[in-house]
Amino acid sequence: MIRRRLLVLLPLIFVASLVAAEDALEPKEIVERMIAAAGGEAFASLGILELEVTEEETRNDGTQTGKSYKLLVDTSNLNNIRMELPGNTVVAATESGGWSTTAGALDDRPQASTLARTSLNQKSFQLLLPFSLQMDGVWLKEVRESTTSDGREVWVIAIPFAKGFFTSPVMATTWILVVAKDDYSLISIEFAPARAYRDVSPVGIRYRVLKLVDLEGASVIEQILAVGINLRHQESGATRVTKIKPSVHGPWDPTLFLSPAQLAALEKDD
């Protein structure tokens, strides 16, 4: 049965002093409990998860734009991911590297493999929460306790990323993850722009889950809201609603993720 949850859309106001509790859990343990509460074992057993994604953005001047794409994810190994874009463009990656094609033509630039991986991370990380917190290059730093404006007790975890995790350097900073103490649900995750880019892009982003759907025992995001935040982490700026239609695509299929060269090598071996 499909289960939906609407999280309260109130700005998060943290207490002025964030003092780490002596008996606080370690960040890794909190994230492990988050993933377990979201059906981590069931998620890992899904096989290939297909996400049909539509982004609807409203800019500061009221202009509205939209775009759609598809993600295919190996839930047992999030290093294996594929994105299909309009214009017959495919971007994919495995642990061995990334690749992309447009109208069947392979991008053979030296930086193509790196760009494929970082582009996929940037598109998929938020949509695959909390499971994506296990991705390679996602680090869990210190944890502190706090309370939201509506009185909910939470953990606040600092999350830096490995260098080059995202394509956009503005996002290459320490993010803030807020987790509810009572049920280990995701309250929000956000970032202020990296210090070196604040003159160029002074707006960060806060992500909040609007809807979840139960997919064979795993809680998968169905709708997520992105709101611009200023350097004080106050909401201001554009908003983007991302709507997702998740389904199980099927079992592992190497043709989805391996590059044309890798597939040709496999066929030659056969």
pLDDT tens digits, one per residue of 188-244:
999 987 777 777 777 889 999 999 999 999 999 999 999 988 877 888 778 999 999
What is the Cα 235 distance to its own chain's centre?
Answer: 20
Where does residue 19 rank: exposed (0-12), middle (13-18), buried (19+ CB within 10 A)?
Answer: exposed
- Domain boundaries 27-269, CATH class: mainly beta
- Tokens matching residue 156: 């606040």
- Is 262 strand, coil or helix? helix
Tell me the whole-structure pTM to 2 decimals.
0.86
Enumerate the domain spans of the chain: 27-269
Q: Which of 202, 204, 155 is nearest to 182 (CA)?
A: 155
> 62 is written with which tokens?
């009221």
Q: What percent of the chain is modeled with pLDDT above 70? A: 90
